Amino acid sequence: MSKPKETLNPFEIAKTQIDRVGKKLNLDGGMLEVLKNPRRELTVHFPVKMDDGKVKVFTGYRVQYNDAIGPFKGGIRYHWNVSLDEVRALACWMTWKCAVMGIPYGGAKGGVICNPKEMSKNELEHMTRRYASEIAIIIGPEKDIPAPDVYTDGQTMAWIMDTISMSKGFAVPGVVTGKPLVIGGSLGRDEATSRGLMYAVREAAKKVKLTHKGATVAVQGFGNVGMHFARLMQDEQGSKIIAVSDSKGGIVSE
Would you place residue 72 in the very low, low, confident or very high pLDDT band (cuts 50, 70, 90)? very high
Whole-angstrom CA distances from 253 to 97, 211, 241 are 36, 21, 8
Average model confidence (pLDDT) across the chain: 94
CATH no. of 36-187: 3.40.50.10860
> pLDDT class for 121, splitting at 50, 70, 90?
very high
CATH topology identical between 36-187 and 191-252: yes
Per-residue confidence (pLDDT) for residue 254, from 0 to 100:
76
Higher pLDDT, 119 or 8: 119
DSSP 223: S
Q: Give the model's pLDDT for residue 248.
A: 86
To the query of whether residue 15 is one of the catalytic residues in this protein, the response is: no
What is the model's pLDDT at position 6? 53
- pLDDT at residue 70 in the model: 97
d(CA 200, CA 7): 29
Assign 3-state DSSP to the chain and report helix, strand, coil percentages, each to 5: 45, 25, 35
Mean pLDDT, to the nearest integer, of 7-22? 94
pLDDT reported for residue 141? 97
- 191-252: CATH topology is Rossmann fold (3.40.50)
pLDDT of residue 5: 52
pTM: predicted TM-score of the whole model, two decimal places: 0.88
List 23, 24, 54, 109, catalytic entry: 109
What is the pLDDT, as a whole number, of residue 1?
44
What average pLDDT does this structure show over 245-252?
91
Q: Is 73 exposed, middle or buried (0-12, 13-18, 19+ CB in 10 A)?
A: buried
Residue spans per domain, the chain? 36-187, 191-252
pLDDT value at 20 more than 90: yes
With cut-offs at 50, 70 and 90, classify the pLDDT of residue 224.
confident
User: Rounded mean pLDDT of 2-11?
Assistant: 70
Q: Which amino acid is at 80?
A: W
Residue 207 is predicted with a pLDDT of 93
**Cα distances (angstroms) measured from residue 121 to each of 9, 47, 52, 152, 162:** 32, 17, 14, 12, 16
For 171-223, how does the pLDDT look when each residue is reduced to its tens digit (9 = 90+)? 999 999 999 999 999 988 889 999 999 999 999 999 999 888 889 999 999 98
